[in-house]
Structure 1
């Protein structure tokens, strides 16, 4: 007997399945649907609406894709995220009519819809949302960083990673806790990761800079799983970070990236370099970048804005990088002469503290009283200074990072415990800078790493409450899921008061789960 001829192929779109014809599987729309001008649906859930009792005929249930009514679709295109919730279909449907709700489709298609929400967010809208909203949350500058969206659209891995970040931030900021949004985030994330892996295995020959595009896509995945929507049970944040280091090494991208001073490449490099530094400080692993990279960020579009060559923030980050490299040696248990360690650490701490020149001695930490020193750390942090101009606010912003570096040095090199008076003096100064000083612009919302270091060493209930209030205020503006992870970590630390733990044991529960800066 002649075998039955196969008329459909695995993975066919619904319309080709209905017609029983071979689909060419071209995405996002197959050639047959394109030629007929009909929507092409891959993998959408089809529901059989049981609105009739007949098995067939005019009163039978209908196999229709899940979609929103055309009238509501047209009304939802006005503005992103400002559409009313979808009304109940029980009141809208008449006799024999088929109720329609919204479709969930992959982010790589022309539109991304969220179950239970009436707005249909297209891929183009997501890219605009990223350019105008997400980038604004990752930049201290009042000047908008220009993103070349047409160039982004040419690289599927970069486009889908950007869309996934925008989708996650859009959903978490406008629809937190709404049913159905979790599935949309997961599908967008997996689509981005799938395309990223495919491009990693077979880099695009059409792209002029395949390595650079893959690096930026990887940093966006770090942002997605480490900043926007981290999960405590997942190691994805750490894996993305390791992948970024591997891409930089494999493609030899450092020289090319250092030459990028504007746009998305410069921003992504500044973000990844900060992730590299903060992760190394918390985990004890060796940094990928050398400390000299920070001087190269002058006049570049970093997340901190465009800074001149001698800006104090770049100097502070360079000093923290040098301290962290020494700290990674200590974390490995490597011994080297105490005199060499004492001399270099003393020099770096003097740089953090600022003038006047303060002699630091590892053997005599009791000589390092912060309150007796008229150093820049004390500027503008007294109770009398609340409303500051931009220059004064910038000094306080830099001082918050200085104080975090001092606490790091006290814990790592001097091995002072959690409640040491010297550490608590630094904590008091840090609370003034992070929580009790009104900074201009977005500066108060970009002190997450200092807030983590300072807040985790708070002992008084008043200081702990001040840190939590600052986190909640920042979360209301940034809508970053990493703040949720940070708050949970702080509660656990305050409950157990781990006085005997080393610095790296202290921060091990959070170092691989989220990026905070």
Structure 2
């Protein structure tokens, strides 16, 4: 990152300064698709004990995964201290309504990502517990819209990441999203993890991932309504989803030689990124909402198209790092061995860059999927083997 590091007050040891620096320069950029992400709010929140502890836990754990020649951190004790600090901060906020809850929310979000990305197996259902804490904190702060309007920009980025993880986790496990479809319109385009893929091109049928996430959320609610009433999917409703998720391609702009270089390349990559999520959403539509089999041609055409699209972005580490969820969905429905090898190659490249434990779990899950003939499973059966603590985007 090109921006200078401004250390917060309250640091009482070189190890804390080292953790802050590592979090800022190595970890934070992994949580966004932006090439120049908004700096984390460490100067504003860093003098809060709860934030320092959560940042240290995440940074020290990831540093060990990055280079195992480092001394392994005592994550059990660090996590205990962090949970204790969260409870203390919660007590302070409850006793004095004038205290800002933004540092508390930031810390719980970091804990959620720590156990969803880094330490996925030690504490059963830990991400679910932190998820409930985040939801309660957002509600106490006045709801999503108020937090997005008043919160630090980088806190908004983490909230957008949380909302995405909530949506994707519920897609895989049959739940209902915590945020309504229209809630996605509340996120500011400059303060989301997909900021690099926000377009102002009015000719685009899909301007941003916001539109895709809105449709995905609507599909989950529609699927729930079908389950509660026992009704069959409406052909008209399915076609509405299909139309809204029609894969988008970069539009033709100009024949001038100067416009055919970097601008068009950037536009093509932008649309490819969005298209990967559109194909993923359509796989869900046909598999879980319509009940089609994995081997059905409608499903497989979007599996292949999704993987082809991601492969286009293979040389862009920032893009492919943020396409783990599409790789998970398309990969778990891939039937061809050459395709499966291609998926493993891409995931290993992402793992080599990000060093998240969750990615190793995902690789093991996909290999297990392919051994048991995925075409025979329903959508929910397909993902029962996936570690429930894992979150992805």
Cα RMSD (Å):
2.8
Counterpart among 184, 191, 199 of residue 301 in structure 1: 191
Seen in structure 2, the aligned counterparts of structure 1 residues 453 and 508 have a Cα distance that, compared at 3 Å, is same
Residue 151 (structure 1) aligned with residue 48 (structure 2): no
Structure 2 distance, partners of 1:172, 1:204, is: 37
- Which residue in the other structure is 2:301 paired with? 425
Alignment of 1:387-406 (within 5 A): 389-406=265-282
The answer to whether the 8 A contact 1:411-1:503 is kept is: yes
**Higher percent of residues as helix:** 2
Once the 2 structures are TM-superposed, how far is the Cα of residue 189 of structure 1 from its aligned partner?
Answer: 2.2
Once the 2 structures are TM-superposed, how far is the Cα of residue 209 of structure 1 from its aligned partner?
Answer: 4.8
Unpaired stretches in structure 1, ≥5 consecutive residues: 1-107, 112-120, 355-374, 380-386
Aligned residues between the structures: 368
Seen in structure 2, the aligned counterparts of structure 1 residues 431 and 255 have a Cα distance that, compared at 3 Å, is closer
Seen in structure 2, the aligned counterparts of structure 1 residues 494 and 342 have a Cα distance that, compared at 3 Å, is same
Structure 2 distance, partners of 1:155, 1:149, is: 9
Alignment of 1:354-433 (within 5 A): 354=247, 376=249, 389-433=265-309
The answer to whether the 8 A contact 2:22-2:59 is kept is: yes
Alignment of 1:63-462 (within 5 A): 110-111=12-13, 122-175=15-68, 178=69, 180-181=71-72, 183-203=73-93, 209-231=99-121, 234-260=124-150, 262-305=152-195, 307=198, 311-330=207-226, 333-335=227-229, 338=232, 341-354=234-247, 376=249, 389-438=265-314, 440=316, 442-462=318-338
Residue 477 (structure 1) aligned with residue 353 (structure 2): yes
The answer to whether the 8 A contact 1:135-1:145 is kept is: no
Larger Rg: 1
Once the 2 structures are TM-superposed, how far is the Cα of residue 238 of structure 1 from its aligned partner?
Answer: 2.0
The answer to whether the 8 A contact 2:294-2:374 is kept is: yes
Unpaired stretches in structure 2, ≥5 consecutive residues: 1-9, 253-261
The answer to whether the 8 A contact 2:199-2:208 is kept is: no
- Which residue in the other structure is 1:490 paired with? 366
Structure 1 distance, partners of 2:92, 2:151, is: 28
Once the 2 structures are TM-superposed, how far is the Cα of residue 109 of structure 1 from its aligned partner?
Answer: 8.5
Once the 2 structures are TM-superposed, how far is the Cα of residue 439 of structure 1 from its aligned partner?
Answer: 5.3
Secondary structure (helix, strand or coil) at the match of 2:93 reads coil
After superposition, the C-alpha distances for 1:453-500 in whole angstroms (9 at most, x for unaligned) are 000011111111100000110111111111011011111111112444
The answer to whether the 8 A contact 1:155-1:207 is kept is: no
The answer to whether the 8 A contact 2:209-2:274 is kept is: yes
